[in-house]
Amino acid sequence: MSLNNLVATNNNKWDFLELGDLVEVVAPASSSEPRDFNNALRFVHKFGLVPRAPKNIFGKDILCANTDEMRFRHLKKALTAKDSRVLWSLRCGYGSLRLMPYLIKLKKPSQPKLFIGYSDTTGLHNFFNNYWDWPTVHGSMLEELGRGEGGKRELLDFYSLIFGLEEEMQYDTLVPMNAKARKKSVIRSKVVGGNLAIISATMGTPWAFTARGKILVLEDIGERGYRVDRMLVQLQQAGVFKGVRALIFGDFVGGEENREEDCLYLWRDVQKKFAKEAHFPVLKGLPFGHGVFQRPIPFNTASQLHLGSSPWLRVKVK
Protein backbone atom coordinates (compact mmCIF):
# COMPACT_ATOMS: atom_id res chain seq x y z
CA MET A 1 0.00 0.00 0.00
CA SER A 2 1.30 3.45 -0.89
CA LEU A 3 2.13 5.74 2.02
CA ASN A 4 0.03 8.39 0.30
CA ASN A 5 -3.01 6.18 0.86
CA LEU A 6 -2.28 6.12 4.59
CA VAL A 7 -2.37 9.89 5.09
CA ALA A 8 -5.09 10.74 7.59
CA THR A 9 -7.77 13.31 6.84
CA ASN A 10 -8.35 14.22 10.49
CA ASN A 11 -6.84 17.66 11.02
CA ASN A 12 -5.46 16.56 14.39
CA LYS A 13 -3.38 13.77 12.86
CA TRP A 14 0.05 14.16 11.29
CA ASP A 15 0.98 12.71 7.91
CA PHE A 16 3.35 9.77 7.53
CA LEU A 17 6.73 10.62 6.05
CA GLU A 18 8.33 9.58 2.78
CA LEU A 19 12.03 9.27 1.98
CA GLY A 20 13.58 12.67 1.44
CA ASP A 21 11.12 14.55 3.66
CA LEU A 22 12.29 17.35 5.93
CA VAL A 23 12.80 16.91 9.67
CA GLU A 24 12.78 20.05 11.81
CA VAL A 25 15.64 19.76 14.32
CA VAL A 26 14.73 21.80 17.41
CA ALA A 27 16.59 22.55 20.63
CA PRO A 28 13.94 23.64 23.16
CA ALA A 29 16.10 22.69 26.14
CA SER A 30 19.86 22.29 26.63
CA SER A 31 22.67 22.82 24.16
CA SER A 32 24.82 20.22 22.38
CA GLU A 33 28.48 19.95 21.58
CA PRO A 34 29.32 20.58 17.89
CA ARG A 35 30.33 16.95 17.38
CA ASP A 36 27.06 15.65 18.85
CA PHE A 37 25.06 18.13 16.79
CA ASN A 38 26.75 17.07 13.54
CA ASN A 39 26.29 13.38 14.37
CA ALA A 40 22.60 14.03 15.01
CA LEU A 41 22.22 15.56 11.56
CA ARG A 42 24.06 12.60 10.03
CA PHE A 43 21.64 10.23 11.76
CA VAL A 44 18.68 11.96 10.11
CA HIS A 45 20.37 11.61 6.72
CA LYS A 46 21.02 7.91 7.36
CA PHE A 47 17.32 7.53 8.13
CA GLY A 48 16.57 8.69 4.59
CA LEU A 49 15.38 12.14 5.67
CA VAL A 50 16.69 15.69 5.39
CA PRO A 51 17.44 17.60 8.62
CA ARG A 52 16.73 21.30 8.87
CA ALA A 53 18.12 23.22 11.83
CA PRO A 54 18.34 27.00 12.39
CA LYS A 55 21.75 28.44 11.61
CA ASN A 56 21.70 30.13 15.02
CA ILE A 57 20.24 27.15 16.89
CA PHE A 58 22.79 27.72 19.67
CA GLY A 59 23.39 31.02 21.42
CA LYS A 60 24.55 32.51 24.68
CA ASP A 61 22.51 31.41 27.68
CA ILE A 62 23.60 30.26 31.12
CA LEU A 63 21.38 27.14 31.08
CA CYS A 64 19.80 26.47 27.69
CA ALA A 65 20.67 26.12 24.02
CA ASN A 66 19.70 29.73 23.42
CA THR A 67 17.62 32.49 24.97
CA ASP A 68 13.97 31.78 25.65
CA GLU A 69 12.92 34.18 22.90
CA MET A 70 15.20 32.62 20.32
CA ARG A 71 14.35 29.04 21.21
CA PHE A 72 10.65 29.85 20.91
CA ARG A 73 11.23 31.64 17.61
CA HIS A 74 12.87 28.47 16.27
CA LEU A 75 10.08 26.28 17.68
CA LYS A 76 7.37 28.49 16.20
CA LYS A 77 9.00 28.51 12.78
CA ALA A 78 9.26 24.72 12.82
CA LEU A 79 5.64 24.33 13.96
CA THR A 80 4.24 26.62 11.28
CA ALA A 81 6.44 25.59 8.32
CA LYS A 82 4.30 24.28 5.45
CA ASP A 83 6.92 21.91 4.00
CA SER A 84 7.64 19.65 7.00
CA ARG A 85 5.72 17.20 9.16
CA VAL A 86 8.03 16.27 12.05
CA LEU A 87 9.83 18.12 14.84
CA TRP A 88 12.57 16.06 16.50
CA SER A 89 14.22 17.40 19.65
CA LEU A 90 18.00 17.50 19.61
CA ARG A 91 18.45 16.78 23.31
CA CYS A 92 16.74 17.19 26.66
CA GLY A 93 18.45 18.67 29.72
CA TYR A 94 16.59 21.74 30.90
CA GLY A 95 14.55 24.63 29.57
CA SER A 96 11.42 23.53 27.71
CA LEU A 97 8.99 24.71 30.41
CA ARG A 98 10.42 28.22 30.07
CA LEU A 99 8.82 28.33 26.62
CA MET A 100 5.28 27.66 27.83
CA PRO A 101 4.25 31.34 28.36
CA TYR A 102 5.11 31.93 24.68
CA LEU A 103 3.61 28.72 23.36
CA ILE A 104 0.27 29.23 25.10
CA LYS A 105 -0.23 32.41 23.04
CA LEU A 106 0.51 30.74 19.70
CA LYS A 107 -2.45 30.01 17.45
CA LYS A 108 -2.80 26.32 16.69
CA PRO A 109 -1.28 25.65 13.25
CA SER A 110 -3.65 24.28 10.61
CA GLN A 111 -1.23 21.47 9.74
CA PRO A 112 -0.40 19.06 12.60
CA LYS A 113 3.22 18.12 13.18
CA LEU A 114 4.64 15.09 14.96
CA PHE A 115 6.82 16.06 17.92
CA ILE A 116 9.45 13.56 19.11
CA GLY A 117 11.35 13.86 22.39
CA TYR A 118 11.30 12.90 26.06
CA SER A 119 12.44 13.90 29.56
CA ASP A 120 12.53 17.71 29.78
CA THR A 121 10.23 18.01 26.76
CA THR A 122 7.38 16.35 28.70
CA GLY A 123 5.79 19.79 29.08
CA LEU A 124 5.68 20.15 25.30
CA HIS A 125 4.08 16.71 24.95
CA ASN A 126 1.42 17.74 27.45
CA PHE A 127 0.72 20.97 25.59
CA PHE A 128 0.49 19.38 22.14
CA ASN A 129 -1.64 16.48 23.51
CA ASN A 130 -4.06 18.44 25.68
CA TYR A 131 -4.23 21.91 24.12
CA TRP A 132 -3.94 21.09 20.42
CA ASP A 133 -5.05 17.45 20.56
CA TRP A 134 -2.04 16.38 18.49
CA PRO A 135 -0.40 12.96 18.77
CA THR A 136 3.26 13.00 19.80
CA VAL A 137 5.94 10.36 20.25
CA HIS A 138 7.85 9.86 23.48
CA GLY A 139 11.22 8.70 22.19
CA SER A 140 14.97 9.22 22.03
CA MET A 141 16.58 12.53 21.19
CA LEU A 142 18.59 12.97 18.01
CA GLU A 143 21.80 13.55 19.96
CA GLU A 144 21.52 10.11 21.56
CA LEU A 145 20.68 8.41 18.28
CA GLY A 146 23.55 10.24 16.59
CA ARG A 147 25.92 8.75 19.19
CA GLY A 148 24.71 5.29 18.25
CA GLU A 149 22.78 4.71 21.49
CA GLY A 150 19.63 3.44 19.78
CA GLY A 151 19.15 -0.33 19.69
CA LYS A 152 17.97 -2.26 16.62
CA ARG A 153 14.44 -2.67 18.02
CA GLU A 154 14.19 1.03 18.85
CA LEU A 155 15.39 2.11 15.40
CA LEU A 156 13.02 -0.33 13.70
CA ASP A 157 10.15 1.03 15.80
CA PHE A 158 11.01 4.59 14.81
CA TYR A 159 11.28 3.71 11.14
CA SER A 160 7.98 1.80 11.12
CA LEU A 161 6.27 4.55 13.08
CA ILE A 162 7.21 7.65 11.11
CA PHE A 163 6.98 6.00 7.67
CA GLY A 164 3.64 4.34 8.44
CA LEU A 165 4.81 0.75 8.03
CA GLU A 166 2.89 -0.34 11.14
CA GLU A 167 -0.53 0.78 12.31
CA GLU A 168 0.14 0.09 15.99
CA MET A 169 2.86 -0.62 18.55
CA GLN A 170 2.66 -3.37 21.17
CA TYR A 171 4.43 -3.55 24.54
CA ASP A 172 4.27 -6.91 26.29
CA THR A 173 6.80 -6.56 29.12
CA LEU A 174 4.36 -5.16 31.66
CA VAL A 175 4.04 -6.45 35.22
CA PRO A 176 0.94 -5.87 37.41
CA MET A 177 1.64 -4.18 40.75
CA ASN A 178 -1.77 -4.34 42.45
CA ALA A 179 -4.95 -6.41 42.47
CA LYS A 180 -6.74 -4.10 40.05
CA ALA A 181 -3.99 -4.62 37.48
CA ARG A 182 -4.14 -8.39 37.91
CA LYS A 183 -7.89 -8.53 37.32
CA LYS A 184 -8.52 -9.48 33.70
CA SER A 185 -10.07 -6.60 31.75
CA VAL A 186 -9.37 -4.20 28.88
CA ILE A 187 -8.98 -0.42 29.20
CA ARG A 188 -9.53 1.57 26.03
CA SER A 189 -8.13 5.06 26.27
CA LYS A 190 -5.09 7.15 25.26
CA VAL A 191 -1.56 7.21 26.66
CA VAL A 192 -0.10 10.43 28.11
CA GLY A 193 2.66 11.26 30.55
CA GLY A 194 6.45 11.36 30.58
CA ASN A 195 8.93 12.58 33.15
CA LEU A 196 7.60 12.67 36.71
CA ALA A 197 9.67 15.68 37.80
CA ILE A 198 8.55 17.79 34.83
CA ILE A 199 4.90 16.84 35.33
CA SER A 200 5.21 17.86 38.99
CA ALA A 201 6.79 21.17 37.95
CA THR A 202 3.67 22.11 35.95
CA MET A 203 1.42 22.04 39.01
CA GLY A 204 0.00 25.47 39.83
CA THR A 205 0.62 26.79 36.31
CA PRO A 206 -2.00 27.57 33.62
CA TRP A 207 -0.66 24.58 31.66
CA ALA A 208 -0.76 22.09 34.53
CA PHE A 209 -0.61 18.46 33.45
CA THR A 210 -3.88 16.56 33.18
CA ALA A 211 -4.53 12.84 32.70
CA ARG A 212 -8.25 12.42 33.40
CA GLY A 213 -9.62 9.45 31.49
CA LYS A 214 -6.16 8.52 30.21
CA ILE A 215 -3.50 5.84 30.73
CA LEU A 216 -0.68 7.63 32.54
CA VAL A 217 2.96 6.57 32.06
CA LEU A 218 5.80 7.89 34.23
CA GLU A 219 9.61 7.72 34.21
CA ASP A 220 12.49 9.57 35.85
CA ILE A 221 16.22 9.63 36.52
CA GLY A 222 18.39 10.41 39.52
CA GLU A 223 15.53 10.76 42.02
CA ARG A 224 15.86 9.18 45.47
CA GLY A 225 12.95 7.47 47.16
CA TYR A 226 11.69 10.41 49.23
CA ARG A 227 11.68 12.67 46.16
CA VAL A 228 9.71 10.16 44.08
CA ASP A 229 7.23 9.84 46.94
CA ARG A 230 6.97 13.61 47.33
CA MET A 231 6.20 14.09 43.65
CA LEU A 232 3.61 11.32 43.60
CA VAL A 233 1.96 12.81 46.70
CA GLN A 234 1.98 16.23 45.05
CA LEU A 235 0.22 14.88 41.97
CA GLN A 236 -2.30 13.06 44.14
CA GLN A 237 -3.06 16.15 46.22
CA ALA A 238 -3.33 18.25 43.04
CA GLY A 239 -5.97 15.86 41.70
CA VAL A 240 -3.91 14.58 38.77
CA PHE A 241 -4.79 10.96 39.54
CA LYS A 242 -8.51 11.68 39.70
CA GLY A 243 -10.11 9.89 36.78
CA VAL A 244 -6.88 8.19 35.62
CA ARG A 245 -7.72 4.83 34.02
CA ALA A 246 -4.36 3.21 34.85
CA LEU A 247 -0.74 4.12 35.64
CA ILE A 248 2.34 2.42 34.23
CA PHE A 249 5.83 3.04 35.59
CA GLY A 250 8.62 3.04 33.03
CA ASP A 251 12.33 3.22 33.75
CA PHE A 252 13.47 4.86 36.97
CA VAL A 253 17.24 5.17 36.73
CA GLY A 254 19.72 6.02 39.48
CA GLY A 255 18.62 7.65 42.71
CA GLU A 256 20.84 5.52 44.94
CA GLU A 257 20.34 5.91 48.68
CA ASN A 258 23.04 6.37 51.28
CA ARG A 259 21.96 3.10 52.85
CA GLU A 260 22.69 -0.58 52.92
CA GLU A 261 22.76 -2.37 49.62
CA ASP A 262 19.30 -3.93 50.05
CA CYS A 263 17.84 -0.42 50.23
CA LEU A 264 19.98 1.04 47.45
CA TYR A 265 16.95 2.04 45.38
CA LEU A 266 14.22 3.02 47.81
CA TRP A 267 11.99 4.33 45.01
CA ARG A 268 11.14 0.69 44.27
CA ASP A 269 9.43 0.39 47.65
CA VAL A 270 7.81 3.79 47.12
CA GLN A 271 6.26 2.54 43.89
CA LYS A 272 5.03 -0.64 45.61
CA LYS A 273 3.39 1.40 48.37
CA PHE A 274 1.81 3.72 45.83
CA ALA A 275 0.41 0.77 43.88
CA LYS A 276 -1.04 -0.81 47.02
CA GLU A 277 -2.84 2.41 47.98
CA ALA A 278 -4.00 3.35 44.46
CA HIS A 279 -7.67 3.01 43.47
CA PHE A 280 -6.75 2.21 39.85
CA PRO A 281 -4.55 -0.38 38.12
CA VAL A 282 -0.82 0.21 38.54
CA LEU A 283 1.80 -1.60 36.47
CA LYS A 284 5.53 -1.43 35.75
CA GLY A 285 7.91 -2.66 33.08
CA LEU A 286 7.21 -0.27 30.21
CA PRO A 287 10.52 0.16 28.31
CA PHE A 288 10.61 3.94 28.11
CA GLY A 289 12.58 6.71 29.77
CA HIS A 290 16.28 7.07 30.55
CA GLY A 291 17.11 3.38 30.53
CA VAL A 292 19.59 1.71 28.20
CA PHE A 293 16.75 0.18 26.21
CA GLN A 294 13.70 2.23 25.36
CA ARG A 295 11.04 2.03 22.71
CA PRO A 296 9.19 5.01 21.21
CA ILE A 297 5.61 5.33 22.46
CA PRO A 298 2.85 7.27 20.65
CA PHE A 299 0.97 9.63 22.98
CA ASN A 300 -2.65 10.75 22.59
CA THR A 301 -3.69 7.99 20.19
CA ALA A 302 -6.22 5.18 20.60
CA SER A 303 -4.82 2.51 22.94
CA GLN A 304 -5.79 -0.74 24.61
CA LEU A 305 -4.35 -1.88 27.93
CA HIS A 306 -5.04 -5.59 28.52
CA LEU A 307 -4.88 -6.32 32.25
CA GLY A 308 -4.35 -9.68 33.94
CA SER A 309 -1.49 -11.93 34.98
CA SER A 310 0.40 -11.13 31.75
CA PRO A 311 -0.68 -7.60 30.81
CA TRP A 312 0.20 -5.84 27.57
CA LEU A 313 -0.36 -2.48 25.92
CA ARG A 314 -1.28 -1.83 22.29
CA VAL A 315 -1.06 1.74 20.95
CA LYS A 316 -2.16 3.09 17.59
CA VAL A 317 0.57 4.92 15.71
CA LYS A 318 -1.69 7.92 15.11
What is the rounded CA–CA span in Å between residue 271 and residue 229? Answer: 8
Among candidate residues 24, 143, 154, 219, the one labeled active-site is 219
119 is catalytic: yes
- Contact (Cβ atoms closer than 8 angstroms) between residue 251 and residue 290: yes
Antiparallel, parallel or unpaired: β 282-284 and 246-253: parallel
Active site residue 290: yes
Among residues 31, 144, 290, 303, which one is catalytic?
Answer: 290
Number of H helices and E strands in the chain, helices first, is: 10, 14
Q: Nearest CA to 90 among 50, 132, 57, 124? A: 57
Q: Which of 242, 236, 187, 240 is nearest to 215 (CA)?
A: 187
> What is the DSSP track for 169-209?
EEE---EE-SHHHHS-EEEEEEEEEEEHHHHHHTTTSTT--
Amino acid at residue number 94: Y
Helix (H, G, I), strand (E, B) or coil at 22: strand
Out of 30, 84, 96, 119, the active site residue is 119
What is the radius of gyration, based on Cα positions, of the chain?
19
Asked whether 72 and 57 are in contact (CB, 8 A), the reply is: no
Q: Output DSSP code: residue 96.
A: G
Rounded CA separation 216/239 (Å)? 13
- So which residues are the catalytic ones? 119, 219, 290
